[in-house]
Structure 1
């Protein structure tokens, strides 16, 4: 990780859960972190006294392209551009495909797929323009993006994460054709105890976490540190991380 000390990482969905854990893990390793989320006050609260890295909190909603472009403009003008992008922002939806309102589908796809893609485009364009050849794009995906969904109610969410897997490989090939050393990884967690289920009326979060094994956000942050710490010749295209006792890869 020493090669990234003082470099700039953008973490989306930084205000809680996995994003917050990633922010603090990077700060401890001397990385300048820009946290992007709607709840700026919660990003600011993640600052670690005495940590070698510096934290900047930027308000924005990855569902809104204008917010993303403003965030990148601020980064380019104030800290010199993104060297590491952690596409963590995501939303979970529980709705059967025959009854779900269109707005629910739009929200899932706009955040999990379009927001991720726009952030990726802006980060990569900036890296290529500045001649950054050791940059990193990390997508926080899900085991739901690897196999068919475990239930019909998460089909659209699973579809969005399958898209992330395809986008990861497509980006890797795009950068290969450009002869760029920028690396791309999709980290696919199993069940993680975060706030992602808080707004779902279709699922009893307390029941889920009392009956199924789960990971903590820090476990995923450690996985991010692992892929970033590999030497430049090593790329980890996909990393699956799930709790011991998870019966099937699609149990989420």
Structure 2
């Protein structure tokens, strides 16, 4: 990780869970990290606890569903820390509901597409532009995806979310191919975790008490992945030599069946 000391990483969805764990790991490794989220209070608090670390954490407020706010984020990075060397597209969410039932929500579908797919593409595009404008030829893009991008989960509630993660799986390969066409050594990878101990499910399930109870019971029967486990996978990708491109790391709790 020595070659990354002092360089700049963008982490989206950085306020809690996987994003916060990634920010902490990167700062401890000496990177200058820009963590963005709609609510930055938790990022600032995390940064206060990392003041003695090798790197530094900057908090930036950004609604990733809005194109103008993403573009403003990259302008701020350019003006204040120089540019992006590592982009970690961690932000994403699920909106529980079937595809065909009365609770199916067009607004929910659009919101998931905006954050899980469109924002990921725009942040990647702007990051690669930043790298190439500054002659950076060894940058890294990492998409935090999901096992739901590799198989359609049983049960109707997560099918549209799963579709967005299938998009991420396709985009990872699309980004890899286009980076090769640009004759650059910037690498792209994805990490696809299974059940992780975060508030993702609580947020996705809203007031669906039955499903929430099922998730609670599931976590009592197996130990889920912790956010730090995903952060460790990020460090592994960044630590690989220049001639090795990790494409997709699939990880699940040892006791997870699907």
TM-score for both structures, normalised by structure 1: 0.96
Cα distance, 1:66 vs structure 2: 1.1
Aligned residue number for residue 70 of structure 1: 72
Residue 186 (structure 1) aligned with residue 196 (structure 2):
no
Q: Contact 1:191–1:213 (CA<8 Å) still a contact in 2?
A: no
Aligned residue number for residue 45 of structure 2: 45
Structure 1 segment 54-69 matched on structure 2, within 5 A: 54-69=56-71
Q: Contact 1:33–1:56 (CA<8 Å) still a contact in 2?
A: yes
Render the CA deviation track for 1:38-85: whole Å, top value 9, x for unaligned.
111110111213100011100011111111111100000110000000
Q: Tell me the SS of whatever aligns to 1:46.
A: helix
For residue 125 of structure 1, the aligned residue among 109, 122, 129 is 129
For residue 160 of structure 2, the aligned residue among 138, 156, 160 is 156
Aligned residue number for residue 84 of structure 1: 86
Which structure: greater helix fraction? 2
For residue 238 of structure 1, the aligned residue among 224, 241, 248 is 248
For residue 232 of structure 2, the aligned residue among 217, 222, 226 is 222
Q: Contact 2:222–2:253 (CA<8 Å) still a contact in 1?
A: no
Cα distance, 1:212 vs structure 2: 4.1
Q: CA RMSD in A?
A: 1.1
How many angstroms apart in 1 are the aligned matches of 2:7 and 2:33? 8
How many angstroms apart in 1 are the aligned matches of 2:148 and 2:105? 21
Cα distance, 1:206 vs structure 2: 2.5
Cα distance, 1:210 vs structure 2: 2.1
Residue 137 (structure 1) aligned with residue 141 (structure 2):
yes
Render the CA deviation track for 1:185-222: whole Å, top value 9, x for unaligned.
01000100111122222331423422344111000000
Distance 1:212 1:157, change over 3 A: farther
Aligned residue number for residue 97 of structure 1: 99
How many angstroms apart in 1 are the aligned matches of 2:8 and 2:59? 13
- Runs of 4+ residues over 3 Å off in structure 1: none
How many angstroms apart in 1 are the aligned matches of 2:220 and 2:115? 28
Q: Contact 2:193–2:230 (CA<8 Å) still a contact in 1?
A: yes
Residue 211 (structure 1) aligned with residue 226 (structure 2):
no
Aligned residue number for residue 176 of structure 2: 172
Aligned residue number for residue 16 of structure 2: 16
Aligned length: 248
Moved more, 217-226 or 145-154: 145-154
Cα distance, 1:94 vs structure 2: 1.6
TM-score for both structures, normalised by structure 2: 0.94
How many angstroms apart in 2 are the aligned matches of 1:135 and 1:151? 39
Moved more, 220-229 or 208-217: 208-217
Q: Tell me the SS of whatever aligns to 1:127.
A: helix
